[in-house]
Structure 1
């Protein structure tokens, strides 16, 4: 706590979680090894995971390196996330009452949780707020990041009150900001297309193996809630839209329909598509390469009459404003674990909702 003109100011560290990405061609393989040896990602027995994770990473390194070469040999995710953190910090510090500093912690490449936890400790905050840049909760994203952070904070000796915002899939301000971005792209696409060509929005999210969802992961349900909220905010009567999933990386069955399947359906229906990355809030390889290059080429091959992509939010003022409001409300809620609306939002069957897990831990202790 510091004093400004004799008034005590509490320090609040806001830690933004994101996936991370390689910062050079030689970083691609270790980045993939970090990803595929994460028990939240590769759900096999522990004695197999290190070997199998490295094997998968080795098999995927060449293709991934080629993808990052399109982006200049590195991911732009860190710089974009740092820009989001800087914009959010500026907004948070305009209201007075506390001093905020935003930190960026990446899950699979630098800066990772151990280094960031030490930096937060050295800044000596009075409290910490964990803010995932994954709007929808999954054990594979937010859950993994929070677990890594808790271990890193313990190693760093960082022991201050900490609040976790688990999700904001249906937050009205987030939905409105997303809808504004989608509407601008929709109007632009509609103006460029011949009047007789219909336009369909494909809300494309990163996929998950079906087994993870069946075990109680709420991600797919939350994606559906996000799309419903954004479509409502768009207010376009008779809007043609669907949800699809991209980025399948293992041979097991994944949730669907796939983005490829939806492109095939659009070609059959002779409709143009506006692709919206509904689960990503920053540009990275899965938007700039997978959506902009690979799926565009597939759409052209299939004969889809138009292919347009909605940009990710990045530092869009509406999105940063939504994050600002989420931080303020989460602090005001006074809960160690908080959704965008305070308490648990996921239906009871989703046992991997973090609120369900927290309740189960309390019962075990009792």
Structure 2
């Protein structure tokens, strides 16, 4: 029995915290500068020595880039909710996951989301979960393929948040799920659905993944291999041959050699070689964001049309589609094994 002066404690719960890359609070200069400074100061993203990188970042890059990035965000902004599409979609995903996990486990599981950069921060959501009584937390970075600049840095922020807790909860992290059968089937289903309503089927589908410097591959990052395997598993699920789908990489930043082929160059090559109708899907993203809605569906589409292409179809991310939520729910349940029972 607790003494009369013992502090009150909430009932114990299990937390499920899903995480995505992040979003600026708005597309004005200072909101963009704060967001880009946090993002581009992450050593997992840009691993140059701080003495060399920070003066360049703070005096040159962050003087100009917030304007161009802000214009890009403005073109896709959810003006009705006054937030980025990534934030809107992540909220919808979290709401759906809350319902599916409530159906499975009742009120013993608390579900929320955080962003690696921007708001809501990982620290704030871990604090909330601990205060609500979560003595176990499952942390789920929503990146199908593992990369140091995505999965690892999200986990870094989670572990840093745990380090500040007086009563530290037990913790698990969800590993890469690029080869999970339900995830692959959800991707394949989205392609079938898109192709079924087309009058003219694309000559080829490009699976465009976020790029990274080639150097990271030689240093041991498995991302490139996991992207290639994702495309292969997707092709097998669709029953296609190798000529119908290929892997490309987008979003190059800086002067280094990055993974190839580059999506923006490949779409032009496809148009010039006679493939006038193409489709693009982005299997590395769990939710549509600036890299898909603006880069793929605007910049990369423009490069394709400029090179003579005629039909360009962007197949959206899985977002809060029911098949995606079902796949994520299964993955969460598998990683909660031993903590909860149905």
TM-score by length of 1: 0.83
CA distance in 1, matches of 2:71, 2:261: 27
Q: Following superposition of structure 1 onto structure 2, how do residues 6-21 of structure 1 map, counting pairs within 5 Å?
A: 11-21=13-23
Q: Could you tell me whether the CA contact under 8 Å between 2:139 and 2:173 is conserved in 1?
A: yes
Aligned to 1:48: 52
CA distance in 1, matches of 2:183, 2:125: 26
Structure 1 stretches of 5 or more lacking a match? 1-8, 335-366
Q: Could you tell me whether the CA contact under 8 Å between 2:18 and 2:112 is conserved in 1?
A: yes
Aligned to 2:332: 327
Q: Could you tell me whether the CA contact under 8 Å between 2:139 and 2:158 is conserved in 1?
A: no
Q: Deviations over 1:23-70 (max 9, x none)?
A: 212311111111110011111113334333324333321210110121
Of 272, 276, 279 in structure 2, the residue corresponding to residue 268 of structure 1 is 272
Of 102, 113, 117 in structure 2, the residue corresponding to residue 108 of structure 1 is 117
Aligned to 1:315: 320
Q: Following superposition of structure 1 onto structure 2, how do residues 256-295 of structure 1 map, counting pairs within 5 Å?
A: 256-271=260-275, 272-295=277-300
Aligned to 2:3: none
Aligned to 1:149: 158
SS of 2:104 mapped into structure 1? coil
Q: Are 1:39 and 2:43 matched, yes or no?
A: yes
Q: Deviations over 1:194-244 (max 9, x none)?
A: xxxx61000001000111121111111111111111111112356511100
Q: Deviations over 1:299-342 (max 9, x none)?
A: 111011311010111101111101111011112278xxxxxxxx
SS of 1:157 mapped into structure 2? coil
Aligned to 2:7: none
Of 207, 211, 214 in structure 2, the residue corresponding to residue 210 of structure 1 is 214
CA distance in 2, matches of 1:153, 1:223: 30
Q: Could you tell me whether the CA contact under 8 Å between 2:27 and 2:71 is conserved in 1?
A: no
CA distance in 1, matches of 2:243, 2:184: 16
Q: Could you tell me whether the CA contact under 8 Å between 1:185 and 1:309 is conserved in 2?
A: no
Q: CA deviation at 1:96?
A: 3.0
Aligned to 1:135: 144
Q: Are 1:163 and 2:134 matched, yes or no?
A: no
Q: Could you tell me whether the CA contact under 8 Å between 1:18 and 1:107 is conserved in 2?
A: yes
Aligned length, in residue pairs? 321
SS of 1:48 mapped into structure 2? helix
Aligned to 1:75: 84
Of 184, 199, 221 in structure 1, the residue corresponding to residue 193 of structure 2 is 184
Aligned to 1:247: 251
SS of 2:13 mapped into structure 1? strand
SS of 2:197 mapped into structure 1? helix
Structure 2 stretches of 5 or more lacking a match? 1-10
CA distance in 2, matches of 1:175, 1:227: 9
SS of 1:255 mapped into structure 2? coil
Q: Could you tell me whether the CA contact under 8 Å between 1:10 and 1:98 is conserved in 2?
A: no
Q: Deviations over 1:229-279 (max 9, x none)?
A: 111111235651110001111111100100022112211221111100111
Q: Could you tell me whether the CA contact under 8 Å between 1:135 and 1:169 is conserved in 2?
A: yes
CA distance in 2, matches of 1:285, 1:238: 29
Q: Could you tell me whether the CA contact under 8 Å between 1:36 and 1:56 is conserved in 2?
A: no
Q: Could you tell me whether the CA contact under 8 Å between 2:162 and 2:169 is conserved in 1?
A: no
CA distance in 2, matches of 1:158, 1:171: 34
Q: CA deviation at 1:185?
A: 1.4
Q: CA deviation at 1:109?
A: 0.7
CA distance in 1, matches of 2:243, 2:322: 26
CA distance in 2, matches of 1:188, 1:251: 41
CA distance in 2, matches of 1:297, 1:89: 39
TM-score by length of 2: 0.89
CA distance in 1, matches of 2:206, 2:41: 31
Aligned to 1:231: 235
Q: CA deviation at 1:10?
A: 5.7
The runs of at least 4 consecutive aligned structure 1 residues that moved more than 6 Å come to none
